[in-house]
Amino acid sequence: MAERRRPADDSERSVNRNIPYGRQSIDRADVDAVVAALTSDWLTTGPAVVQFENAVSCAAGVDIPAVAVTSGTAALHTAYHAAGVRPGTEVVTSPLTFAATASTAALLGATIVFADVDAVTGNLDPDAAAAAASHRTAVVAGVDYAGVPVDATRLAVVAHDAGALFLEDAAHSLGSLLNGVPVGGLADVTTFSFFPTKNATTAEGGAVVTGDAALSDRARAFRNHGLVRDRARQRWPDEGPWHQEIADFGLNYRLPDVLAALGSSQLSRLGSFKARRNAVFERYRDGLSDLAGIELPRCPPNADPMWHLYPVRVPVEERRRIFEELRADGIGVQVNYIPVYWHPVFQDLGYRRGLCPVAEDWYRREISLPMHASLTVDDVDHVIEAVRKAIGA
């Protein structure tokens, strides 16, 4: 049997290379933090959770500790519940997102009203959101697509004019700023995801951040069965010292200490993750901006994003071929996203194609190139070469 040997040159190496579109960056300190939590007295509901909740609120620039939960999906479910989403209410949101932005509100009984996106950023268009909002709207939910913050100033006005709350699904944008303000301090309530491909990870995990103490309390109760342990808030405080009561239905969405410890360790490197992602962004721009057949991502001048995706747009009739060629070259490209209402579950509720033409056009032309903090300069150059070849430059 021949020995596995190191590739002799780049062309040979590129044949075997597989570059994922996103992945975690784990170092020794992360491993040590997890081991320390694992060998401590608390595997869950312990001090590492408190520490992580403080670290998230610090990164998000808010005073009230974050409510850590088990996923970004759980964060959305918790935030919508806390914001009063229930049967008879409506949630206005973008179709250019992962389905959880809409499906968690649908599970709470709300009607989802999709509003179209801005053609430059892919973010919820405030004018379209205003046209979609009504007195039934409980939440206007923007999504920071690819890490670029939504137009928070205008979306807050749209929401508040309708008597609704403004929620920011910031699964892509932990570490991003708008007008110098960190994502987390822009909306009434903000949700994060710590899935491995996101800007920082806890394996699975999420968080709800808000500056509203009452909303935070409702979120905190929901992630722990709706249990009330504070005697001052109990209906029957004299039941006995063991007593705790449920005043509102909730779930077990508690993030364990083992994962929270990983999260705190990751957040201490958020700045270096951002620098690395943004260096990848610039290298792609420098390597691809002369091509005619491809539109590169852009952001408004008042945004300072931590780029989570690198979404390019190519001609509709070329997208599938380019995507397949890149995949064949070992480039882990993705498409973000199929418009949410195209999913059969929404089709069956009566939603039809054509509803949001800008989002549909975006979907038909989009390809996400690999973007994460572990990409080497070599990896990025390899992707650039493969894209240039596929585009025919």
Ligand X SMILES: *Cc1c(COP(=O)(O)O)cnc(C)c1O
In whole angstroms, the minimum distance from the beta carbon of 389 to ligand X comes to 29
In whole angstroms, the minimum distance from the beta carbon of 220 to ligand X comes to 19
In whole angstroms, the minimum distance from the beta carbon of 302 to ligand X comes to 21
Nearer to ligand X, 51 or 101 (CB): 101
In whole angstroms, the minimum distance from the beta carbon of 73 to ligand X comes to 3
- What residue number has its CB nearest to ligand X? 72
Nearer to ligand X, 14 or 341 (CB): 341
Nearer to ligand X, 98 or 346 (CB): 98
Nearer to ligand X, 172 or 365 (CB): 172
In whole angstroms, the minimum distance from the beta carbon of 56 to ligand X comes to 14
In whole angstroms, the minimum distance from the beta carbon of 249 to ligand X comes to 21
Nearer to ligand X, 311 or 390 (CB): 311
Nearer to ligand X, 164 or 255 (CB): 255
Contact 176, 147 (CB under 8 A): yes
In whole angstroms, the minimum distance from the beta carbon of 127 to ligand X comes to 22
Please state the three-class secondary structure of the chain as a single string: CCCCCCCCCHHHHHHHCCECCCCCCCCHHHHHHHHHHHCCCCCCCCHHHHHHHHHHHHHHCCCCCCEEECCHHHHHHHHHHHCCCCCCCEEEECCCCCCHHHHHHHHCCCEEEECCECCCCCCECHHHHHHHCCCCEEEEEEECHHHCCCCHHHHHHHHHHCCCEEEEECCCCCCCEECCEECCCCCCEEEEECCCCCCCCCCCCEEEEECCHHHHHHHHHHCECCEECCHHHCCCCCCCCCCCEECCCCCECCCCHHHHHHHHHHHCCHHHHHHHHHHHHHHHHHHHCCCCCCECCCCCCCEECCCCCEEEECCHHHHHHHHHHHHHCCECCECCCCCHHHCHHHHCCCCCCCCCHHHHHHHHHEEEECCCCCCCHHHHHHHHHHHHHHHCC
In whole angstroms, the minimum distance from the beta carbon of 290 to ligand X comes to 31
C-alpha separations of 192 from 39, 171, 184, 302, 348 in Å: 27, 5, 9, 21, 29
Query: Residues interacting with ligand X, by CB under 6 A?
Result: 71-73, 97-98, 100-101, 143, 169, 171-172, 193, 195, 206
Nearer to ligand X, 89 or 104 (CB): 104
Nearer to ligand X, 195 or 351 (CB): 195
